[in-house]
């Protein structure tokens, strides 16, 4: 029988969200590199997961404070988006997002994008609802 204790590492709540994917042809721009809108969507999704994991509430994007594309991601590369809640207000969360490309056969990794996303937790009345503060336990 499967012993859940053997899986304690993967079952633990992750403090940092990592979403990993492979770049396919339908995600490219006219130059053959990852389209900026697709990259933005990947970053927003990772930030959404990080904000939801932090608050355990329904969350919505209210702001994208700064996104910088610092290097292109090429077809066939792995793209990894890393998201972490770095600050909280009463109902809002700022999520730091980093996008890294990885070359399949060499493992070389490059920083390709960074950004800050702001999410707000909303209650059943669709109004902002209080969330736990960063660093608060429980």
Binding site for ligand COA (CB under 6 A): 60-63, 89-92, 118, 120, 122, 128
- 14 or 89, CB closer to ligand COA? 89
CB of 63 to ligand COA, least distance (A): 3
- 23 or 131, CB closer to ligand COA? 131
- 20 or 133, CB closer to ligand COA? 133
Give yes or no for a contact between 27 and 40, defined as CB atoms under 8 angstroms apart: no
Distance (Å, whole) CA 15 – CA 92 = 18
Query: Look-up: residue for tokens 């793209």?
Result: 79
CB of 127 to ligand COA, least distance (A): 6
Distant-in-sequence, close-in-space partners of 85: CB < 8 Å, separation ≥ 6? 50, 51, 54, 93, 94, 95, 134
């Amino acid at each position: 029988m499967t012993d859940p204790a053997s899986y304690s590492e993967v079952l633990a709540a992750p403090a940092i969200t990592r979403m990993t994917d492979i770049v396919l042809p339908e995600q490219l721009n006219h130059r053959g590199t990852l389209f900026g809108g697709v990259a933005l969507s990947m970053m927003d999704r990772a930030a959404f997961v990080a904000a939801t994991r932090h608050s355990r509430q329904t969350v919505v994007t209210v702001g994208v404070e700064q996104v910088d594309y610092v290097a292109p991601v090429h077809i066939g590369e792995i793209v990894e988006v890393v998201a972490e809640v770095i600050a909280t207000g009463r109902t809002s969360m700022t999520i730091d997002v980093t996008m890294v490309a990885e070359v399949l056969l060499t493992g070389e990794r490059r920083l390709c994008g960074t950004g800050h996303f702001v999410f707000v937790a909303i209650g059943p009345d669709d109004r902002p609802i209080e969330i736990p503060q960063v660093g608060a336990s429980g």
